[in-house]
């Protein structure tokens, strides 16, 4: 199973699950900030703050990778994009895949080298 990028607004819950009993999550990508003007969360007027985000893959992976399921509240206390102005609410774009449990640790290590 593989999930494409999904968008989560501030305050929402990022939720990921593997449905096969021998599979675990591996977070493949996660960005937190203001990546585009139009999102499901809100519409941002033209501004120079769009395109400001932080790669939070390691943070999300630390809480979710290696588990069968994970729920993570999206907020600025947990996920940091310190280099960005907070004129607008931020959101999380995240993707994950499910891998066989024995392969998960190796896969995660290779991903973050």
- Residue in this structure with the two tokens 């996920």, named with its chain if needed: 79
What range defines the domain where residue 65 resides? 2-111
The token duo for 57 is 């893959």
Domain count, the chain: 1
Enter the pTM of the model: 0.78
Residue 17: both structure tokens together: 């699950």
Q: Which two structure tokens, joined as six digits, stand for 94?
A: 């995240």
pLDDT of residue 90: 82
The per-residue pLDDT for 54 is: 86
CATH number (domain holding residue 33) = 2.60.120.740
Contacts of 35 (CB under 8 A, 6+ apart): 50, 51, 53, 91, 93
Residue 64 confidence (pLDDT) above 60? yes
52: pLDDT confidence band, cut at 50, 70 and 90?
Answer: confident
- Output phi, psi for 110, to 5 deg: -65, -35
């Amino acid at each position: 199973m593989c999930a494409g990028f999904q968008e989560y607004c501030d305050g929402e819950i990022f939720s990921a699950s593997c449905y096969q009993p021998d599979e675990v999550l591996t977070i493949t990508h996660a960005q937190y900030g203001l990546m585009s003007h139009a999102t499901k969360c809100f519409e941002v007027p033209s501004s120079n703050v769009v395109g400001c985000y932080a790669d939070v893959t390691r943070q999300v992976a630390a809480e979710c990778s290696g588990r069968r399921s994970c729920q993570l509240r999206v907020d600025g206390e947990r996920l940091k994009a310190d280099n960005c102005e907070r004129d607008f609410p931020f959101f999380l774009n995240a993707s994950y895949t499910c891998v066989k449990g024995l392969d998960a640790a190796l896969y995660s290590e290779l991903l973050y080298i």
